[in-house]
Amino acid sequence: MLPADLLIRSASARRLVLWGGLGAGALALSSLAAFAQGHALMINVSPSLPYWAIWVTRGATVHRGDIILFDPPTSPLLVKHFGAKPKPFGKRVSGVPGDIITEQNRIYFVNGEAVAKAKLESRLGEPLALGPTGRVPKGCYFVTSEHKDGFDSRYAAIGWICGPRILGVGRPIL
């Protein structure tokens, strides 16, 4: 019989191994819980972004070009298209605080560069009011998507996306 076998056969050694295992398990679970508070995996079911899996970091600093995930504002248009409790939206940050947003002939510009064109009506035929223009307020962002039917800051029903609505910065993984 090996010395390790003798050690584990004693009652106190078994208790020591059990408590050590429980302690290691508790430490692993608490580390995982702390990690989960700041991160999430989002599955994208919308065609407005070309990715279907996005790793989200909560509380990360937002930069131009980032994908942010946010809770969309409530509006009758949004409810009609996405239901009373829509899933979070993921869009690309085109305008950051201090940028100047302008619109001409339904084309939106950020600091003079065209970023998106607004449609006249939704895919269900409702008229689409134009979104905000002017200086992007502190703590807010102008978000767009490459998809022709993307529902984003080009439209009044979405508008600026400001801090309390932002769930995190996304990084595409698939």
Structure tokens at 9: 């056969």
| 61-73 pLDDT per residue, tens | 999 999 999 999 9
Return the amino acid letter for 74.
T
Structure tokens at 171: 């990084």
More confident residue, 161 or 3: 161
| 4-25 pLDDT per residue, tens | 555 556 666 666 666 666 555 5
Alpha helical stretches, state H, the chain: 3-9, 11-38, 76-82
| 63-115 pLDDT per residue, tens | 999 999 999 999 999 999 999 999 999 999 999 999 999 999 999 999 999 99
Cα-based torsion angle of the residue sequence 106, 112, 113, 119 in order, rounded to the nearest 10 degrees: -10
Report the predicted TM-score, pTM, of the whole model to 2 decimal places. 0.80
Residue in the structure block whose two tokens are 């085109």: 94
Residue 59 has φ and ψ, to the nearest 5°, of: 80, 5
Residue in the structure block whose two tokens are 């980032």: 66
User: How many Cβ atoms from other residues are within 10 Å of residue 40's Cβ?
Assistant: 16
